[in-house]
Structure 1
Amino acid sequence: MFTGMSAFPLTPLNESKIDEHAYLKIITRLVDAKVDSICVQGSTGSYAYLTLKERAHLLRLAVEEANGIPVMTSIGALRTRDVLIAAENAQKMGASALLLAPVSYQKLTLDEVFSLYETVAGEISVPLCIYESPGTTHFDFSPSLLLNLARLPNVASIKLLGGYPESENYLNRITNLKNALPTHVSLGISGDVFAAPSLSAGCQIWYSVIGGLFPRVAMKIAHLAITGKGDEAAQQSAKLAPLWALFRQYGSLRVVASAAAMLGLAENGCLPLPLKTLHGDVCKEISDVIESVQLS
């Protein structure tokens, strides 16, 4: 399941409830587009704002709705105890794979992060994806650490952040890791603006924010790049430059949540406070971009 385009859908919710109807409508949209895989309760799915019980329930709904498409889910939590509970719940609910970032209030050491993954990898029976997210975890994965983690049992993919650590050299990092990783561990990319060049450089899967709302355009870009049509993939990605600019300015989660509300796929204010959807002139900007690049 670690090739192609993995869609990361929104979890519409407010302070009183999770909008399960909207959530399933978004999942159905991905199923209809025949995405390669789905990752619910990723960062776009607001996993850090949900209880372990809510995460398990939402995963079960997604697996039932996915019509056989593999479903991955995040198991990140502040304590290893809760990570293991989340992993156990996810496996019981039918997850095909687990996504884990080294979440912590205190910045973790290299040894602490290795121990986290070693503990989890030894307790699970489904594939594990390592999640690089330095903006939220404040932890930097060194190449040597990633290679050591890739040798752990059940580790099947690494989700890199595009453009990191330097936007000029990230493609070299991808190439070097790809050449050094065990063949059974796939290399994936997040940070949508970097997807097309990263897939052309050797990544096998795009972990996509835009794919969670506009799956068809993301599938097109991913499959062009993976099948050696990098120039065409880059051209398609360039058409989305206004959207990438909005992501940089306001954050991809706020933009996607606001777009979902505009499209009638979720209600206004579908983010957990203190996060807020966008309003006013910004929404007009988003609407204009959706129309101009013919997203639907």
Structure 2
Amino acid sequence: MSIEAPSHPFFGLSAFPLTPTDASGRVDTEGLSRLVERLCAAKVGSIGLLGSTGTYAYLTREERRRAVEAAAECVNGRVPLVVGVGALRTDKAIEIARDAEAAGADALLMAPVSYTPLTQDEAFEHYRAVSTESALPFCVYNNPGTTHFTFGLDLLERLSRLPAIVAVKMPMPVGGDFAGELSTLRERTDLAVGYSADWGMKDAMLAGADAFYSVLGGILPDPVLAIMRAAQAGDEHEAGRLDDLLQPLCSTFKSFGSLRVMYVLYEALGLGRAEPPRPILPLDAASHAEVLRAVEPLSVMG
């Protein structure tokens, strides 16, 4: 499968919204549609539905499909819809991938969810099985912070030979050497390479990453896009100036977890009311206030 930018769903800013639900885990499709419309209006590169920020691991198969259907109806072809299909069992991930494709997804993203730690060969077979069950392009979700699994370079090279697998979402490299890691990955694979962790976006894009997978972009796309565009244009000074405004909020991500912070912003922006799925608890009053102070500098970015 060969897909080129800009039609490629794994280029530019991939914005990851919350999936608002009620206390029983039923998706608030109206609230989700408000978030999706916000991202379409901002003209993000893609929408990363049901990623870690979208709490896919806490939703039933039925609710995941309802979320995709609602988002696809709202998007209506304006922005590529990339849907997370991670699941503990391979057969369940296959079912969820089929559901996502039938419900209107444009591409798929999968993390190696596990309880018993996976070997590199087990992860390969898992991805091979799921990626061959859909006609959609597929992104490997390398997120060791939540999955406790790290993709070796040999495994990524093997996966890149599978026809459907065209991209990888990477964590920030140890030591911050984006350019070095990008060079190695491009030498060994033909995958579109993107990164996550918002405080690293400026450096990743200045180094030439193909995409950035942004938590903050899922609710405040405009300031994130401003940094990305400056970095893509090679304007290091402007990208740095804008990135400095982002850092107080990124500090709250590190202190409280980006998911909890996103729920504060969702309510503060008047988009609706929702709480994280239990056992995750909302932030206390003092932490809530800290998040609101941290987001104030972004108002100057529009």
Structure 1 position 19 matched with structure 2 position 24: no
Match of 1:282 in 2: 287
Instruction: Kindly state the Cα deviation for residue 221 of structure 1 after the two structures are TM-superposed.
Output: 1.5
Q: How do 1:1-296 residues align onto structure 2 when only pairs under 5 Å count?
A: 1-16=9-24, 17-68=26-77, 69-162=79-172, 164=173, 166-182=174-190, 185-267=191-273, 269-294=274-299
Question: What SS is found at the alignment partner of 2:175?
Answer: coil
Please report how far the alpha carbon of residue 73 of structure 1 lies from its aligned counterpart in structure 2 after TM superposition: 0.6
Shift of 1:67: 3.3
1:202 aligned counterpart, secondary structure? coil
Q: Distance in 2 between matches of 1:131 and 1:11?
A: 19
Query: Do the aligned residues in 1 keep the contact of 2:20 with 2:31 (CA within 8 Å)?
Result: yes
SS at match of 1:255: helix
TM-superposition CA deviations, 1:166-218 (whole Å, max 9, x none)? 23445422332133322xx2101111111111111121111110110001111
Amino acid at match of 2:38: R
AA in 2 matched with 1:196: K
CA contact (8 A) 1:188 1:207 kept: yes
Q: Give 2:260's aligned amino acid.
A: R
Cα distance in 1, alignment partners of residues 36 and 230 from structure 2: 24
Structure 1's unaligned 5+ residue stretches are none
CA offsets 1:50-94 (integer angstroms, 9 cap, x no match): 111111111011011013211011110000000000111011011
Question: What is the CA distance between 1:118 and its match in structure 2?
Answer: 1.2
* 1:170–1:107 CA distance, 2 compared to 1 (3 A): farther
Q: Residue 95 of structure 2: SS of its match in structure 1?
A: helix
Q: d(CA) in 2 for partners of 1:254 and 1:130?
A: 25
Code of the residue aligned with 2:21 in structure 1: it is: L
Shift of 1:32: 1.3
Q: 1:115: how far off?
A: 0.6
- Give yes or no for contact 1:14–1:273 (8 Å, CA) kept in 2: no
Please give the alpha-carbon distance, in whole angstroms, between the structure 2 residues aligned to 1:42 and 1:250. 18
Aligned AA (1:283): H
Task: Please tell me the residue identity of whatever aligns with 1:178.
Answer: R
Question: TM-score, normalised to structure 1's length?
Answer: 0.94
Distance 1:91 1:168, change over 3 A: closer
In the superposition, relative to structure 1, how do residues 225 and 180 fare at CA in structure 2: closer, same or farther (>3 Å)? farther
Residues in 1 aligned to 2:298 and 2:229: alpha-carbon distance in whole angstroms: 19
Contact 1:103–1:137 (Cα < 8 Å) also in 2: yes
Do 1:246 and 1:252's aligned partners in 2 also have CA atoms closer than 8 Å? yes
Inter-partner Cα distance in structure 1 for 2:201 and 2:238: 13
> How many residues were matched structurally?
291
Offset from partner CA, 1:245-295 (integer Å, 9 cap, x none): 00000001100111111222121x521111122131111111112223317
The worse-fitting range, judged by mean Cα deviation, of 281-290 and 81-90 is 281-290
Give structure 2 stretches of 5+ with no counterpart.
1-8
